[in-house]
């Protein structure tokens, strides 16, 4: 080969690549800190299972064929890394082999057969990928020139390497037929017995003579090398940057997902108010992990495919959301890097006058655009239901929802800009501790005549029944509270309620960005709970469950919290209650987002429903981890849907298509939204919408 040409190509390509990557890495390092270096063992497990094992592609039932296609292309690249090293070595020394992968080594032969077959598979997968994009055209895909270019380059890499091997195979045969060892190495020849795909390529060019084979081999070698080095430098410039960033992005993913909490803002920090650093207001306020998320978006569109807002024609398109933020980040890269250096200088500065000068320079480098309004549309931001379906299917574990909540915090706290239709619910929280705005003295009225004790009357109980605002004030959800109380009494459970002392957990306020109101309500509730020494809590509301269990510990509230479906399933298994099938006709179940995806409760509701159902139990098309949101989360319960189709209607139509007599839910918001959908479709008489507790109460033996 040509060591001078090889040296030149490698040096130029690596120099350009290093320059690009240095800028990208410097930009990440200039962003805000994020603690993602803990629990290394767990992170390595995620790396192996999700990134290398391609769990979210191969393991996803929907679109499994495309997932397998992508996985094999990725695995092929991993296998071919060793081959690439040997090819670069061939540029300096013909016949170069890595020590343990030589012709005389069994490992070398085993690698040859794996590499050869994998190249054939990758080539087939590339052709399939091009066919999908050009012919099938799935709606979720962002069909760009770059996608076709990269697929073509991957195809060229496979074809050039196979033809390179094929030409060498034929040359070895020609030399051996003449009684000559190829390259004076008698070991050449047997290795091709391990390369069926390369032999097939050799048969395609079997009519070429020695000079043509030599020329073809040289051409394929340099085509492969040049394509690979060009490909390397294309990666950081577009969506295929994920080839480089996917592994670290998965490694640094949140280990608490889906229980990772919004940052507990220090609302007493005067500098934070003055510098607009509460929430996410400007691009330089991103953390480096959020920046890495933006680098890593693959534009696969899986997020769009499952997003209830996008599916119902809302302006929230998570690919565009990420893309707009990424462009804003890159446009401000130089200033962000300079700003970070000045911040470091300020931290070390001891001279007050000099510090003021540095602060002035920092202020001049702050990105001027407001993220919401100038980069991301207001309707786009507030369309999110925080259901996290997008994060569940993202193959590279991008975290969308925490970023959206942080931007909402910035809007509410700093800009005082949020949908005005939220005002009645927020004022209701402030004045009466519930978004309905009903007097707090009415909170325990639902329990009248049921002989349910309050903690003030008797706190020596095992469980607190956290009723929640809907269960206390919404006429429909009051029936669920009564049913659950009857079940607990039937089972002899020692429990009480807070009554008028209970306030909203603040979940709605936090998801809507009003962190100040959330912290106020959470602190009041925690003080009440801790004063009574509460240890165990039962609730019928997944939003209360998630907040009490996973977010209150941030502020000193540590409790064992369980959803009523889990607790009822436990009562059944312990024999404390017995059920008789009483629900006629087919029954289905709608998984609430905050119960399923957020708290991984899937099996207990289904086991209960199968016990009470006389007919068949039918799963919805979108169920379990990929359940479809009812549309009420993220504060949307208190907002009108004026754009596109109503989300609850989309879900209700899916339920109706299953031809069932009843649909069970485990969340008061879902109960309201699906019942409203049934009324709109005029199906409320044909299909009953019932909470799990109501079905169990009906079926008590």
The percent of residues above 90 in pLDDT, for the chain, comes to 82
Whole-number pLDDT of residue 444: 96
* Cα–Cα distance for residue pair 334/342, rounded to 1 Å: 13
* Cα–Cα distance for residue pair 30/341, rounded to 1 Å: 8
Structure tokens at 97: 């082999």
The percent of residues above 70 in pLDDT, for the chain, comes to 98
**Tell me: the pLDDT tens digits for 517-566?**
999 999 999 999 999 999 999 999 999 999 999 999 999 999 999 999 99
Which position has the higher pLDDT, 533 or 350? Answer: 533
Considering only 101-115, 632-646, 673-687, which range has the smallest mean pLDDT? 101-115
The domain 422-573 having CATH identifier 3.30.70: the answer here is no
Every domain of the chain and the residues it spans: 3-243, 270-332+367-417, 422-573, 587-698
Structure tokens at 25: 């890495």
Residue 675 has a CB neighbour count (10 Å cut-off) of 20
Which fold is adopted by the domain 270-332+367-417? Fumarate Reductase Iron-sulfur Protein; Chain B, domain 2 (1.10.1060)
Q: Is 377 exposed, middle or buried (0-12, 13-18, 19+ CB in 10 A)?
A: middle
Which uninterrupted H or E stretch holds 469? helix 468-473
* Contact present, 372 and 67 (Cβ < 8 Å): no
* Contact present, 336 and 369 (Cβ < 8 Å): no
Which uninterrupted H or E stretch holds 688? strand 688-691
Whole-number pLDDT of residue 452: 96
* Contact present, 73 and 128 (Cβ < 8 Å): no
Fold match, 3-243 / 422-573: no
φ/ψ of residue 207, rounded to 5: -85, -5
Q: Long-range contacts: 450-455, Cβ < 8 Å, 24+? A: 450/482, 450/485, 450/486, 450/489, 451/489, 452/485, 452/496, 452/497, 453/495, 453/496, 453/497, 454/496, 454/497, 454/498, 454/499, 454/501, 455/496, 455/497, 455/498, 455/499, 455/501, 455/532, 455/534
Overall CATH class of domain 3-243: mainly alpha
Listing DSSP states for 104-130 in one string gives: T-HHHHHHHHHHHHHHHHHHHHHHHHH
Whole-number pLDDT of residue 93: 85
Res 182 pLDDT > 70: no
* Cα–Cα distance for residue pair 55/566, rounded to 1 Å: 28
Whole-number pLDDT of residue 104: 67
* Cα–Cα distance for residue pair 613/111, rounded to 1 Å: 55
Q: Is 602 exposed, middle or buried (0-12, 13-18, 19+ CB in 10 A)?
A: middle
Buried/exposed 636-669: b ≥16 CB within 10 Å, e otherwise: bbbbebeeeebbbbbbbebbbeeebbbbbbbbbb
Hey, which bits of 610-661 come out as E strands? 617-618
* Contact present, 627 and 591 (Cβ < 8 Å): yes
Res 191 pLDDT > 80: no
Hey, which bits of 239-296 come out as E strands? none
Look at residue 459 and give its three-state secondary structure.
coil
**Tell me: the pLDDT tens digits for 389-446?**
999 999 999 999 999 999 999 999 999 999 999 999 999 999 999 999 999 999 999 9
Which position has the higher pLDDT, 168 or 503? Answer: 503
Whole-number pLDDT of residue 100: 79
Report pTM.
0.91
Considering only 253-262, 331-340, 655-664, which range has the smallest mean pLDDT? 253-262
Whole-number pLDDT of residue 105: 75
Considering only 66-70, 104-108, 192-196, 204-208, which range has the smallest mean pLDDT? 104-108
Q: What's the distance, Cα to Cα, between the start and end of the chain in Å?
A: 84
* Contact present, 593 and 633 (Cβ < 8 Å): yes
């Amino acid at each position: 080969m040509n060591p001078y040409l090889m040296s030149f190509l490698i040096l130029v390509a690596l120099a350009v690549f290093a320059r690009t990557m240095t800028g990208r890495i410097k930009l990440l390092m200039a962003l805000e800190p994020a603690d993602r270096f803990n629990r290394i063992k767990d992170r390595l497990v995620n790396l192996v299972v999700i990134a290398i094992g391609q769990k979210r592609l191969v393991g996803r039932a929907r679109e499994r064929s495309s997932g397998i296609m992508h996985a094999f292309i990725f695995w092929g690249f991993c296998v071919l890394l060793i081959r690439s090293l040997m090819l670069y070595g061939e540029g300096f020394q013909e016949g170069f082999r890595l020590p343990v992968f030589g012709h005389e080594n069994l490992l070398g032969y085993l690698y040859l057969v794996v590499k050869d077959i994998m190249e054939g598979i990758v080539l087939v997968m590339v052709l399939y990928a091009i066919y999908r994009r050009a012919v099938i055209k799935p709606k979720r895909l962002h069909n760009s020139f770059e996608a076709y270019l990269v697929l073509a380059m991957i195809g060229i890499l496979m074809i050039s390497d196979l033809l390179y091997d094929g030409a060498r195979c034929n040359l070895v045969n020609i030399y051996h037929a003449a009684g000559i060892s190829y390259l004076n190495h008698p070991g050449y020849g047997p290795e091709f017995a391990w390369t069926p795909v390369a032999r097939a390529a050799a048969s395609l060019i079997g009519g070429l003579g020695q000079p043509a084979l030599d020329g073809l081999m040289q051409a394929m070698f340099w085509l492969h090398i040049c394509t690979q080095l060009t490909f390397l430098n294309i990666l950081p410039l577009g969506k295929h940057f994920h080839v480089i960033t996917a592994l670290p992005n998965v490694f640094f993913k949140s280990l608490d997902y889906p229980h990772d909490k919004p940052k507990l803002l220090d609302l007493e920090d005067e500098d934070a108010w003055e510098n607009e650093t509460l929430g996410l207001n400007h691009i330089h306020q991103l953390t480096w992990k959020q920046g890495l998320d933006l680098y890593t978006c693959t534009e696969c569109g899986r997020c769009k495919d499952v997003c209830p807002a996008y599916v119902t024609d809302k302006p929230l398109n998570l690919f565009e959301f990420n893309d707009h933020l990424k462009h804003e980040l890159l446009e401000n890269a130089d200033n962000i890097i300079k700003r970070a250096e000045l911040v470091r200088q300020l931290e070390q500065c001891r001279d007050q006058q000099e510090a003021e000068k540095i602060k002035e320079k920092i202020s001049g480098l702050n990105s001027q655009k407001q993220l919401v309004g100038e980069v991301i549309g207001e309707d786009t931001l507030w369309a999110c239901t925080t259901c996290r379906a997008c994060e569940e299917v993202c193959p590279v574990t991008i975290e969308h929802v925490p970023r959206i909540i942080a931007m909402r915090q910035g809007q509410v706290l700093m800009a005082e800009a949020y949908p005005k239709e939220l005002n009645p619910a927020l004022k209701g929280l402030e004045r009466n501790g519930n978004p309905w705005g009903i007097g707090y003295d009415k909170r325990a009225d639902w329990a009248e005549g049921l002989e349910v004790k309050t903690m003030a009357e008797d706190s020596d109980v095992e469980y607190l029944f956290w009723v929640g605002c809907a269960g206390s004030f919404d006429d429909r959800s009051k029936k669920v509270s009564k049913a659950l109380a009857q079940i607990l009494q039937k089972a002899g459970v020692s429990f009480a309620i807070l009554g008028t002392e209970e306030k909203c957990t603040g979940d709605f306020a936090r998801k809507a960005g009003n962190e100040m109101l959330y912290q106020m309500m959470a602190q009041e509730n925690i003080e009440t709970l801790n004063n009574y020494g509460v240890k165990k809590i039962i609730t019928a509301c997944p939003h209360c469950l998630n907040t009490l269990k996973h977010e209150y510990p941030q502020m000193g509230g540590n409790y064992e919290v369980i959803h009523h479906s889990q607790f009822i399933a436990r009562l059944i298994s312990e024999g404390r209650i017995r059920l008789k099938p009483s629900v006629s006709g087919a029954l289905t179940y709608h998984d609430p987002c905050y119960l399923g995806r957020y708290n991984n409760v899937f099996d207990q509701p289904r086991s209960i429903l199968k016990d009470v159902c006389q007919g068949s139990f039918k799963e919805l098309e979108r169920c379990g981890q990929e359940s479809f949101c009812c549309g009420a989360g993220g504060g949307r319960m208190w907002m009108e849907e004026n754009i596109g189709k109503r989300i609850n209607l989309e879900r209700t139509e899916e339920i109706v298509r299953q031809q069932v007599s009843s649909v069970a839910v485990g969340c008061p918001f879902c109960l309201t939204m699906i019942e409203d959908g049934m009324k709109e479709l005029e199906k409320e008489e044909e299909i009953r919408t019932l909470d799990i507790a109501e079905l169990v109460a009906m079926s008590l033996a």
